[in-house]
């Protein structure tokens, strides 16, 4: 393939108009059709930029001066927003964020799925799009002899010390500051990834938004936590709502946060929270949605699309700890859930028991293996729900859906691009996409979740 000749040079200063946003929140400007990605640029703005890097088909730049600002530009409330990589859209008004996410979904459905006539609803947002994350997980480091904890500076492993984060629950910020201070007081050393020395790698705080119950998790390199007894004594005394203190040991030289060994140091193994009327047990390593308020919005929409009468059999592929399964079980005759992670299925069964739901059954395994096996045994779904990881559905699962012919497929997605790809495959296999509802689960970031309804077309 011939090398694309960029119409500009590195270190050039040029005037541009931003046309769009990328999926990670950068402004897009084009010079003779050659795209440049510039952090902090918003569609419609005129600006001077400096070209910082040129690749074969696209380049990067830095915003130097704004000549004309977007009506949707706002001042970010966070003092470390420009350094931290946690959010991408604090400089865009919330109304602008919801519009950008709707556009992103519409664009990928058309570009990747070739789905042009699909009804894409306006994004369902939050009344207050701040302080929503119920899980805080920060790397720990040292600066001038004291412990620091926060987020990594963009594209580095330098920790920016954080006093508060505007997308995390306020109580989690308070707990993190207390835990940091207590550990520092008792001489706990931060893990140093260069030397592979030190003890404390990460601290995680989980909170039940409805229950107010709190769990603190220490992720350590070593089996021992120095002065453990005194640290536990102070945390359990000083933190209101604390129900669980847990240690996870990760001795490996790795970027992966968790190790294999987890032990309870004090209190309970789990904390509880509710989404709607359904109660969930959350352990240190449970997958549980970080924005339960919007999770209910998402699942209510999935339930609405399923439109159950109480007589249907439903299959929930990629069921996790059973969150969607239990929502569906409120209105279905029978729900079957499948998930590849054994611990998640263990949690799902406990959650079904916790909510006294007997019309739901869970199996461990790959959805693309288990569901065909169920099909052979005569288990047929009236409605099939999928909520896959970012990579989307496995091809063999899509083939099984087409073969099984459920009347409806409700597709819950965290990645519009793979959603568009999979909808196209299902459309070619005899389904029609009726509508797509974007839901804003992660305000101030470019992430958007969707629920899509597909119906079987009878030929």
Complete edge-to-edge strand list for the sheet that includes strand 13-17: 13-17, 46-54, 59-68, 34-38, 27-31, 20-21
> What's the CA gap between 69 and 63, in Å, rounded?
12
* Cα angle, residue 231 at apex, residues 227 and 233 outer, rounded to 5°: 120
> What's the CA gap between 427 and 302, in Å, rounded?
19
Read off the DSSP letter of residue 164. -
Q: 33, exposed or middle or buried, with CB in 10 Å at 0-12, 13-18, 19+? A: exposed
Closest CA to 389 of 366, 355, 358: 366
Q: Which helix (H) or strand (E) holds 100?
A: helix 94-111
Q: Are 88 and 42 in contact (CB under 8 A)?
A: no
Which residues are marked as active site? 414
Cross-strand bridge partners of residue 92: 73
The structure tokens listed for 313 are: 């059999």
Read off the DSSP letter of residue 8. S
Q: Which helix (H) or strand (E) holds 185?
A: helix 170-185
What 3-state DSSP class applies to 4? coil
> What's the CA gap between 316 and 339, in Å, rounded?
9
Q: How many residues does the chain have?
A: 459
> In 268-297, which positions are buried (b, 16+ CB within 10 angstroms) versus exposed (e)?
eebbebebeebbbbbbbbbebbbbbbbbbb
Read off the DSSP letter of residue 252. S
In the numeric block, the tokens 């480091």 are attached to 141
> What's the CA gap between 383 and 9, in Å, rounded?
55
The structure tokens listed for 227 are: 């002065």
- Taking only Cα atoms into account, the Rg of the chain, rounded to an integer number of angstroms, comes to 24
């Amino acid at each position: 393939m011939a090398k694309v000749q960029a119409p500009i040079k590195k270190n050039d200063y040029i005037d541009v108009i931003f046309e769009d946003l990328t999926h990670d929140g950068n402004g897009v400007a084009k010079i003779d059709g050659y795209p440049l990605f510039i952090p902090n640029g918003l569609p419609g703005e005129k600006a001077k930029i400096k070209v910082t890097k040129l690749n074969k088909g696209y380049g990067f730049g830095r915003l130097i001066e704004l000549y004309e600002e977007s009506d949707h530009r706002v001042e970010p409330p966070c003092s470390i927003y420009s350094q931290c990589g946690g959010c991408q859209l604090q400089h865009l008004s919330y109304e602008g964020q919801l519009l950008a996410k709707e556009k992103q979904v519409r664009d990928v459905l058309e570009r990747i799925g070739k789905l042009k006539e699909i009804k894409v609803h306006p994004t369902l947002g939050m009344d207050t799009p701040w302080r929503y994350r119920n899980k805080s997980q920060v790397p720990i480091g040292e600066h001038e002899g004291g412990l620091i904890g926060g987020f990594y500076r963009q594209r580095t492993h330098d920790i920016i010390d954080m006093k508060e984060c505007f997308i995390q629950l306020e109580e989690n910020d308070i707990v993190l500051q207390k835990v940091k201070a207590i550990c520092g007081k008792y001489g706990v050393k931060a893990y140093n990834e260069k030397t592979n020395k030190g003890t404390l790698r990460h601290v995680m705080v989980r909170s039940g938004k409805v229950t107010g119950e709190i769990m603190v998790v220490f992720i350590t390199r070593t089996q021992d936590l120095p002065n453990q007894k005194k640290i536990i004594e102070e945390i359990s005394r000083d933190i209101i709502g604390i129900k669980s203190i847990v240690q996870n040991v990760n001795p490996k030289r790795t970027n992966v946060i968790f190790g294999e060994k987890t032990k309870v140091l004090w209190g309970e193994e789990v904390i509880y929270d509710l989404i709607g009327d359904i109660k969930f047990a959350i352990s240190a390593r449970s997958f549980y949605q970080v924005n339960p308020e919007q999770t209910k919005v998402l699942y209510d929409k999935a339930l609405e699309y399923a439109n159950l009468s109480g007589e249907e059999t439903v299959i929930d592929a990629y069921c996790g700890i059973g969150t969607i399964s239990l929502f569906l079980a409120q209105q279905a005759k029978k729900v079957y859930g499948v998930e590849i992670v054994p611990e998640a299925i263990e949690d799902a069964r406990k959650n079904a028991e916790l909510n006294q739901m007997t019309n739901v059954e869970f199996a461990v395994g790959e959805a693309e293996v288990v569901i065909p096996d169920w099909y052979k045994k005569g288990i047929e779904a009236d409605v099939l729900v999928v909520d896959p990881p970012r990579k989307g559905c496995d091809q063999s699962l899509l083939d099984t859906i087409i073969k099984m012919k459920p009347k409806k497929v409700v597709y819950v997605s965290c990645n519009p691009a793979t959603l568009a790809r999979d909808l196209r495959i299902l459309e070619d296999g005899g389904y029609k996409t009726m509508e797509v509802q974007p839901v804003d689960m992660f305000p101030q970031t470019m992430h958007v979740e969707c629920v899509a309804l597909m119906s079987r077309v009878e030929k």
